[in-house]
Amino acid sequence: MRLIKQIKLLSKIIKHNIHYYTGKFVYPYRVEITSTYLCNSKCKICHIWKYYQNKNNNISQELNLNELTKTFKNINKNLFYLAIGGGEPTLRNDLIQIIKSVTKNCPNLLYISMGINGLQTKDTVLKIRQILKELPKSIDLKLTISIDGPKQVHNIMRGINDSFTRSNATFNQLKKFETKYRNFSVTKELTICDENINELKNIDKYKDYIITFQNDSKFYMVDNNKKTGINKKLQYKITSQLIKNKNKFGIINLITNDFLKKSLLFQKNKLNIKCYSGRSTIFIDPIGNVYSCINQKVKFGNIKDNKYDIKKVLKKSNDKLVILNKCKDCWTPCEAYTTIIQNKVMLK
């Protein structure tokens, strides 16, 4: 089943490239929707949890279920991969209904991924169980739970005293679902940043984690001028060690390993790869603004102003895509994985 899905996705990418290089409009086949600014963590490397402390920001501005359904109906058969982010997605009371809506209105959907913090074990497990009961077997649900180092380090980074214990409890309970639901997987995710890098002495312990690096996107609302900066030499050493110990078999491992290898190049300002953000993948924030990626270099418009039609938003923004051809300011999994796949298909 998974091989069939990968072949379908590959054929979509090839068709996408043919249309793009022949001048035809192409829908992005991967859409990342940040479902909410609500968050029950108080992370040092992300201040989204402060968003509603600003009285000018109102949760009623976030895309509701009806608006998301209109968006899914418009993109329809063109969506193959949906990434759901936050904030904390599980804080949305209508998360189950959102998943139902996208599976109903996007018949070619193959993958749904979602990053969570796992702080609300009981509520999260109940929601994921219900989602899996109703999720078509043709669609894979991939979850990641943030665990950013040893217990004390993780708790300090996340700003919650028992975060490590609660997140691991959620992981352990969700892991049991993998036996019953072949289209489900849950993995721990480690974000390497200046707050934890000096504590990652036994990096081999994290070889089965999804590895990311701190993202300086303005979306995370962190004042980068107040940061001390990461130990670049140690970051390079840790990344190199991870590459040596990572599982090298399977398509997913090939992509994640390539991400780490190219991370070494990025860390030395030597990465030279064409970015496909804004073409293959787009980012939609909680209030409907459409960007090329989470780093928000290029804003295309708002789906609320375009009858919830991504095509209308993108067709108005062709001139803005030119900027992205020379964009080399970031290297994050959200966009990097798609870019790696796209370039491999193009034999680059």
Q: Which residues contact 284 (CB under 8 A, 6 or more apart)?
A: 31, 32, 33, 34, 63, 71, 290, 291, 303
CA-nearest of 121, 59, 118 to 94 is 59
pLDDT band at 35 (very low <50, low <70, confident <90, very high): very high
For residue 143, the SS3 value is: strand
Q: What's residue 266's pLDDT?
A: 87
Instruction: Dump the DSSP string for 152-167.
Output: HHHHHHHT-TTHHHHH
Q: What's residue 174's pLDDT?
A: 98
Beta-sheet pairing, 81-85 with 30-34: parallel
Beta-sheet pairing, 140-146 with 184-192: parallel
Per-residue model confidence as pLDDT tens digits over 198-242 = 888 788 888 889 988 888 788 888 876 555 567 788 888 888 888
How far apart CA 136 and CA 155 sit, in angstroms, is 36
pLDDT band at 84 (very low <50, low <70, confident <90, very high): very high
For residue 283, the SS3 value is: strand
Instruction: Dump the DSSP string for 213-276.
Output: E----GGG---GGG-----HHHHHHHHHHHHHHS---SHHHHHHHHHHHHHHHHHTT-------
User: Is there a contact between 153 and 202 (Cβ–Cβ < 8 Å)?
Assistant: no
User: Is there a contact between 271 and 331 (Cβ–Cβ < 8 Å)?
Assistant: yes
Q: 58: how many CB neighbours lie within 10 A of its CB?
A: 10
Per-residue model confidence as pLDDT tens digits over 246-256 = 766 666 778 88
Burial of 260 (0-12, 13-18, 19+ CB in 10 A): middle
Whether 326 has a pLDDT exceeding 60, the answer reads: no
The average confidence (pLDDT) of the chain is: 88
pLDDT band at 85 (very low <50, low <70, confident <90, very high): very high
Give the range among 35-44, 86-95, 106-115, 316-325 with minimum mean pLDDT: 316-325
What is the biggest distance separating any 2 CA atoms in the chain, rounded to whole angstroms? Answer: 55
Per-residue model confidence as pLDDT tens digits over 152-189 = 999 999 999 999 999 999 999 999 999 999 999 999 99
